[in-house]
Amino acid sequence: MQKRIGIWIMWMCGVFGILNAQTVDHSLTIHKVDEKELFDRLIDFSLHHDYFVHTVNSLDKFMQISYTQEKPKKIFSAETDKVITYNIFVRSLGEKVWSIRVQARVSELIWNGEVHKSSYYYKDLGVSQDVKIYKQLMAALTAYFD
């Protein structure tokens, strides 16, 4: 019995170790682009990929966009829509070389549970550590700037 418990504990440690090791780089380096062109291309990328543009501030080298991730509407489904807001920070690494860093915040649509007086609100889940959320945007940005 103790051998089984020991094997189970080792297996769980391995699983959690693998899950913790899954990280994605939240930054991207762009070459041979001046500042105005970089922000123009970031705006074009956002509009082309159906992101809502909240803020573009080229002086502070900051952009904020969001995306609504709609879940299929099923009876008794616990999954809800989410709004993912991305903060995009741009830093100069030299002449026509830029670093783009991304931070994602997630809000989840919540239903109050009442049938006749239904109401919904978005619950802020904070800064996301979900690898998939970052990976999706970073892959699209990398493909767009290549």
Mean pLDDT (the chain, rounded): 82
pLDDT of residue 7: 54
Note the pLDDT tens digit of each residue in 57-81: 989 999 999 999 887 666 665 567 8
Q: Which residue has the higher pLDDT, 111 or 75?
A: 111
Q: Which residues contact 66 (CB under 8 A, 6 or more apart)?
A: 51, 52, 54, 83, 84, 85, 86
Report the largest interatomic distance among the alpha carbons of the chain, rounded to a whole angstrom.
66
What pTM was estimated for this model as a whole? 0.75
Second CATH level (architecture) for the domain 26-145: 2-Layer Sandwich (3.30)
